[in-house]
Amino acid sequence: MVRMTMLVPKIDVELCVGCGACEDVCPDVFELQDDGLSHVIDATACSECECQEAADSCPTEAITFAEE
Ligand code: SF4
């Protein structure tokens, strides 16, 4: 059986400054939480840009992609 892999967004918490830009672009995927940092709440929820726009909007390049 061939298994499809997909790239899912990850956040480097050491780099995230909690600006909220990723949540603005992909609110189904990213959420600012009580710790002041953004978290991935549903990595596969972006149907628009696969979160590339969110990654591009991040000022600290905290968003990377990894195979699920
Ligand atoms: S855009 Fe980057 S720095 Fe801003 S909240 Fe999202 S992950 Fe954190």
Which of the listed residues 58, 64, 65 should we mutate to test ligand 1's pocket, taking the one with most ligand atoms within 8 A of CB?
A: 58
Look at ligand 1, atom 1, and give the residue with the nearest C-alpha: 58
Q: End-to-end distance of the chain based on CA atoms, in angstroms?
A: 17
Spell out, as residue ranges, where the chain has pLDDT lower than 50.
Answer: none
Ligand 1 pocket by C-beta < 6 Å: which residues?
Answer: 11, 16-22, 30, 38, 57-60, 62-63
Specify the fold of 7-67: Alpha-Beta Plaits (3.30.70)
pLDDT (0 to 100) of residue 47:
78
Q: Is the pTM of this model over 0.75?
A: yes
pLDDT of residue 46: 85
